[in-house]
A and B are shown apart, each in its own frame.
Chain A
């Protein structure tokens, strides 16, 4: 009899993907301005490190929240004991108000409909457990966050069928693509339970258009399936056209409690990106369906948010002056930082998808490929990791259908480091272009190919594999 479970011995955790392996290489040789200036710069981690000063300044002014106190009185005991899976009421209230504020107060959320979970990772998995049987499928537009393979499929047994999006229309979702995906699922004998989108998109960094959102509502209504909108990056929208939440669309279409679609739309949120607090494991799922809320609430027992953290953040997010300033300052800094990346890429002759959100850009390096294949994409990626010493994420790890796209993060490093990374990239591109332009480029190409194959890329990994998120 086999000793361990199927889950323990398969690799549906998705961790053999290049996305995670790049991090592994980074861990072996991480860049440090002083200690390791020639190391690999991490540009594969979608973290928001731009506004810690604002958080620290708030902490400085609010010692009670840190010290388990309320109005100077200790509430340590209550917090230490608080394991109610309904969550700290004050935190849920503050959280839904924060979500509302991010959406320009165009929609409001009911704290009774929000379920707290240990990060969006847990929220997404929990929704799958609630909505899908093992073998059921969810349709996801490509490219998508590599972690979804683990979060949605691993322990739940659910399947993902891609909605193929292409650069021809800036990777927007089309009706044709939706119908194709649905047909594809049926061909594979998979029952489709819903569509899951990330809005703003990871890895594209774009917000969904009103058109796309309406299309999704039409499609899921016609097929009578669920719609999950992962809005984890909603607070990172720094430019027009601005963020339109799925809830806004429902409101516009007068889809209230009396309509079926009301109960089939669910939102995932987290403070890991907007507030830059991935370590605190604060995730949430929001649903208008009471049964989903009830089931998910019970399931949250498997990953509750630490009461200490709930209390701290309840205080922080209840400070409306703070949240107002934070939201606008965060967007401002992200905008500036993204501009720097875009212009740095431009100088290297590299363009990227026009984006208005997120902590990364979707970069077009198709012109640097020797041929339009995924093998070449991986070859290029290896060069960038080992030679240029930048850890960026290849599009194939995001299930992109077109080779040559890469996700490059910009908010998890200092400005100087970003500048350096662009210098390195430019130097690399210049060399590559020069090489291509030389008259005997063919033989040079051959010798370069030979030296490429000398690089051994080990797929085995020890316990020190990387494990950050998104």
Chain B
């Protein structure tokens, strides 16, 4: 009788997927340029680490933005007390303004429609609770962010119906594909409540064309279902074409489009590189959703301390303009360093203009053009090349051989080490491909599907590799994962 719920004991949290296995391998043996140069380089984490200097500089110049400094402590009491689920008004205003600027000022956002949530993770779950019942489904174009299975479906009981996209047209979403998937779902008696797209795309790093967006808006409108656009990577666009936000599209379309069905998800985790601050936003044109969403915010409000700091920062127009411009520039440079390097060794990537990763094609290196072939190659990349990249299958990609590779979460030196390793691996692969019968060492290595309790994971990441590596007097600041 004193059992746990199905939710607590099923697998829908998705953590048994390969997506996480690679991280576990990294946690056991993380790369460090001097302390552990043979370690695994983390290329599976879509973090934006390129602009911390700008933020740090702003914080040191603006002590009153913190409620804990002498300059800001007068606000401490009121802010520490503030748990209103509407969110700090100045924070909502600042976020609305920032969202606008991140879209080149081409649209404005109404602060009254900004609903705060616990990261985009919390925001995606929240919008699902508002627009779908257990058993309902969402159409999601593949390849898609692996954690959507958890965020959209774990506790909500909602299903994902993938809309498969293919390399033949660069994985673009077409209205036809969406309609086909919708029709099939309906025939199987699946109640589709909406379409969820990520723009710019994770894992592709591409932005959607205006035409595509319009056709998708028409599609949802005609079928009276919702459209949720996750624009978490909005400000990571580093090359043309510029981002066309769904809000821009809506503003320009006919009044017969029912705006009540359109919702945007946002966050500061990627654009500003602040995933630790848990800033998620639901922006909806639907009053009932905003109202209901606000109440649900209670389950994942943003710390008022953080809201206050960011309200101040995002209201600084000069800082924001400079940050957005500089961030784009640095992402562009990093992207080109990688893709040029890969081109030189014959590796092609999907042409992309946004995101913190590129979509790499290693199909030509597969022994078999199958899922197993992809997993085999992936294990080799983790164990031998020592790069944690994410296999396309973890994104529900139907074509084997694609990998997502993150590029913005490391320093320049590490970029070169990674490129060198890939180069060496590719050359070696070309040598050994003439001896297909020779049994490779790595084939005998342990299966990466390690299973351990969650407690062990926490101990691994907290204690082992760093503790052994760093001397107590190491000048390098230790990760809070280890010592904080």
Q: Which residues of A contact B (CB under 8 A)?
A: 1, 3-9, 13, 15, 47, 49, 52, 55-56, 59-60, 63, 65-68, 70, 73-84, 86, 88-91, 112, 118-119, 121-122, 125, 129-134, 136, 150-151, 155, 193-194, 223-226, 260, 263-264, 272, 276-281, 289-299, 301-309, 311-312, 314, 463, 467-469
Contact = CB atoms under 8 A, between A and B. Distances in A.
Contacts of B276: 79-83, 306-308
B293 to A, nearest CB: 8
B379 interface: no
13 contacts: A5-B132, A56-B76, A76-B56, A80-B55, A86-B462, A129-B8, A130-B4, A133-B5, A150-B298, A193-B1, A277-B80, A303-B300, A303-B301
**In terms of DSSP, what is the predominant structure of the interface of chain A?**
helix
A81 B47 contact: yes
A283 B437 CA distance: 57
Given A9-B288, A67-B66, A308-B277, A132 B300 contact: no
Contacts of B302: 281, 306
A294 B303 contact: no
The 6 residue pairs across chains A and B that have the minimum distance between CB atoms: A66-B68, A279-B304, A307-B276, A303-B300, A306-B303, A295-B8
Contacts of A86: 457-458, 461-462
B261 interface: yes
Contacts of B80: 52, 55, 276-280
B484 A467 contact: no
Interface stretch (B231-239, B249-257, B321-329, B473-481): B473-481
Contact of A309 (B69, B295, B303, B462): B303
A306 B480 contact: no
A311 B288 contact: no
A118 B309 CA distance: 18
B294 to A, nearest CB: 8
A298 B226 CA distance: 28
B480 A60 contact: no
Contacts of B47: 81
Most buried by B among A80, A280, A293, A468: A80
B83 A131 contact: no
Interface residues of B, number: 95
A75 B56 CA distance: 10
A303 B122 contact: yes
A278 B8 contact: no
A293 to B, nearest CB: 7
B303 A291 contact: no
A297 B84 CA distance: 25
A224 B2 contact: yes
Interface in B272-290: 273-278, 286, 288-290
B299 A78 contact: no
B394 interface: no
A130 B68 contact: no
User: Which of A81, A132, A272, A307 is most buried by chain B, counting CB atoms within 10 A of its CB?
Assistant: A81
B261 A280 contact: no
B477 A75 contact: yes
A118 B299 contact: yes
Given A122-B299, A303-B299, A278 B4 contact: no
Given A78-B480, A279-B305, A118 B291 contact: no
A31 to B, nearest CB: 16
Interface of B: 1-2, 4-9, 13, 15, 47, 49, 52, 55-56, 59-60, 63, 66, 68-70, 73, 76-77, 79-86, 112, 118-119, 121-122, 125, 129-134, 136, 150-151, 154-155, 191, 224, 226, 260-261, 269, 273-278, 286, 288-292, 294-296, 298-306, 309, 453-455, 457-459, 461-462, 477, 479-481, 483-484
A47 B81 CA distance: 8
Given A66-B69, A129-B5, A279-B82, A150 B477 contact: no
Contacts of A281: 83, 301-304
Contacts of A13: 292, 295
Contact of A129 (B119, B155, B294): B155
A131 B5 CA distance: 5
A302 B120 CA distance: 9
B125 A49 contact: no
Contacts of B4: 130-131, 289, 291-292, 295
Contact of B83 (A122, A293, A469): A469
Contact of B2 (A7, A67, A121, A264): A264
B129 A5 contact: yes
B309 A308 contact: yes
Given A47-B81, A311-B480, A299 B155 contact: yes
A306 B278 contact: yes
B303 A305 contact: yes
B118 A302 contact: yes
Given A278-B83, A309-B305, A3 B300 contact: no
Contacts of A52: 76-77, 80
Contacts of A77: 49, 52, 56
Nearest to A86: B458
Contacts of A260: 2
A292 B49 contact: no
Given A6-B133, A302-B299, A59 B278 contact: no
